Structure 1
Amino acid sequence: MTHIFDLRLHKVQIPTEMREWEERFPVGSPNVDQSITDRGLNAVHCWRDAKGPNNAEDMPKVLLAERARKTWPDAFTTTNGLYVVSGAAKHVIEGLDPGIHQFFPLKIQTKRGIDIPGPWFAMNVHVKQDSIVMEKSRVNKSQRKPDELSRFWGDTKDGDVVVDPAKQSGIHLWREARFIGSLLASDELIAAFKVQGVKFFPSFKATNISELSEG
């Protein structure tokens, strides 16, 4: 079974600042060398949109939380679209997909400089598969680039998206090639999260195309 994390549908973003990263890569400043701006933009596109692997030297090192929290989830996104996971989440993911995804050590602090107990990692899932059956799925297709920028409906639920398992390679966490901002997982990964008590992103279930044939 395939699980789809629709990050826009659920409130999984935690407001943060990346002051040290913004000092190194002041994107948008007219007085900065264009090559520095390009490096910063490329880093964001890689971690946010799965444009490719990130370079460690271009990653944020410290996140400043906008406000204190009593508890922290094992996975969330930041204001700049960075995926952040706990050490426990990383351990589960690497147990099933060893050496496939990128994890970069990260500090999370309050604005007073107090560390939030971790460990924490910035995660880049840049491996892509093309397994969603567009013509059988309830998806919002872009009129301008229907094969590249399609998105799920805002109220997508279990069964609205159909996938073809034959087009999946056995990877347990991936991005869909034609869905910008997507993040999908196997049933095995979701089960492993539950066993380890890891609270990952909320998800809905896709339907296998073989189930439609049987019905």
Structure 2
Amino acid sequence: MARHIFDLKHIFRREIQMAYVCYYPATGRYLKGFDLPGWGERYDAGRIPKDVPSVFHTGQRRLELSEAPEKVLLKKQAASLPDIFSARSGVRIISERVRQILEAFDPGVHQILPIEAFYRDGSKPDTAYFFLNVTKHLDTVIDEASSVKMAFQIVGEKSRDQMELDPPTARNLVIRKDRAAEHNLWREKRYPYLPLLMSDEMHAEFKAQKIKAYHFWRAEER
């Protein structure tokens, strides 16, 4: 009887598909001390459109080459840098290993541009790094099955077009399997503050390659 129950549980787990929310921990290891030489000066001088920092956070469009950062100065040397970390204004920087995974799963989907990473003494990390702009947006969250609420707009009114987790630490998110099918990394259209979402398959590859990056929590697919 025990073996029979175990088999049923195993089958049930396989039928419940999971996507993963890419939680970005607010710790020093992932929020490296940095600067973006050249880019910061151009932005502060008004030579880069004011909406570019919001693009870093929301990925609402692809950037022109003149708008994207070209260099990142790492202020502290480390024996082992994460494969994904954040820089000024939410700039997301990824290693060569992550770039290869993204291109293998989503060829040509995401905007990935080379960025020169270096330390104060001029030395460079052992791996190449890239600027990542995730511009794929899907509408997959099933609101009534998730711990979410309508968000307030600047004018003080609630809008169903803008949603958020409730509470912000909630880990109950259910997404539509049919809408997420064949997509591996995306943002949610109506959830501007929700982290990136990732497919089971891409998450398994991150785990297999021991990518040092996000923390993950599961979102159920129905």
TM range (shorter): 0.7 to 0.9
Secondary structure at the aligned position of 2:20 is classed as strand
Report whether the alignment pairs 1:89 with 2:98: yes
Kindly tell me: are residues 5 and 148 of structure 1, through their superposed partners in 2, closer, same or farther at Cα, counting changes over 3 Å?
farther
Residues 11-30 of structure 1: per-residue CA shift (max 9 Å, x gap): 3322311131112221xx5x
Q: Percent identity?
A: 22
**1:201 aligned residue (183, 190, 214):** 214
Per the TM alignment, residue 43 of structure 1 is displaced from its structure 2 partner at its CA by 2.5
Per the TM alignment, residue 192 of structure 1 is displaced from its structure 2 partner at its CA by 1.3
Q: Say which is worse superposed, 91-100 or 174-183, in terms of deviation.
A: 174-183
| Cα RMSD, aligned residues only | 1.9
Structure 2 regions of 5+ residues with no counterpart?
1-17
Cα distance in structure 1, aligned partners of 2:163 and 2:23? 13
Kindly tell me: are residues 130 and 16 of structure 1, through their superposed partners in 2, closer, same or farther at Cα, counting changes over 3 Å?
same
Match of 2:148 in 1: 139
Per the TM alignment, residue 142 of structure 1 is displaced from its structure 2 partner at its CA by 1.3
Match of 1:187, as an amino acid? D
Of Structure 1 and Structure 2, the greater strand share is in 2
Kindly tell me: are residues 112 and 146 of structure 1, through their superposed partners in 2, closer, same or farther at Cα, counting changes over 3 Å?
farther
Match of 1:150 in 2: 163
Report whether the alignment pairs 1:13 with 2:27: no
**1:2 aligned residue (19, 26, 47):** 19
TM-score, normalised to structure 2, is: 0.81
Contact 1:14 1:79 survives alignment (8 Å): no
Per the TM alignment, residue 10 of structure 1 is displaced from its structure 2 partner at its CA by 4.6
Secondary structure at the aligned position of 1:194 is classed as helix
Structure 1 regions of 5+ residues with no counterpart?
210-215
Match of 1:98 in 2: 107
Kindly tell me: are residues 100 and 81 of structure 1, through their superposed partners in 2, closer, same or farther at Cα, counting changes over 3 Å?
same
Contact 1:141 1:151 survives alignment (8 Å): yes
Match of 2:187 in 1: 175
Residues 107-149 of structure 1: per-residue CA shift (max 9 Å, x gap): 1222232222221000000110000111221135313344344
Q: Say which is worse superposed, 184-193 or 63-72, in terms of deviation.
A: 63-72
TM-score, normalised to structure 1, is: 0.83
Q: Say which is worse superposed, 195-204 or 119-128, in terms of deviation.
A: 195-204
Contact 1:15 1:79 survives alignment (8 Å): no
Cα distance in structure 1, aligned partners of 2:97 and 2:111? 15
Contact 1:131 1:163 survives alignment (8 Å): yes
Match of 1:190 in 2: 203
